[in-house]
Amino acid sequence: MPRLTLDITEGGKVARTYSVDGYDIAFGTLMDLIGLAEGADDPGKAFSQLGFIKPFLADLFPDITDEDIRRVRVSDAFRLLEEAMAVALEGIGRGPSPKAARKGRK
């Protein structure tokens, strides 16, 4: 799985880096992204959907602080969402896990 990283900058310099090897995106996060996409034509509605980013970042990086979440650039948050979704979609394309296949699941 690819490594997902997030740099937190202070005064224009990297102060901390959070990283995780892969991420399995939660279904609720996926639904939030769909809601965001559906509200894209209405800036007010789209903006109100952004509340899921903080829990997403906290789930992705369990050690991240609220203070550091406030310093995350929006472009970095959306990059991480995009990368996490790509990993999830790649996993869907691979079919069932070997464990599930052994149990006879499809």
Under 8 Å between Cβ of 57 and 29: no
* Per-residue pLDDT band at 105 (split at 50, 70, 90): very low
CA dist 60 and 74 (Å) reads: 16
What is the per-residue pLDDT across 7-39, written as a single tens digit (0 to 9) for each? Answer: 999 998 999 999 998 777 778 877 777 777 776
Spell out the domain ranges in the chain. 3-102
Q: Where are the alpha helices (DSSP H) in 3-97?
A: 27-38, 43-48, 53-60, 66-71, 74-93
What is the per-residue pLDDT across 38-68, written as a single tens digit (0 to 9) for each? Answer: 766 776 766 676 778 888 899 889 999 999 9
Under 8 Å between Cβ of 84 and 23: yes
Span 2-8, average pLDDT: 91
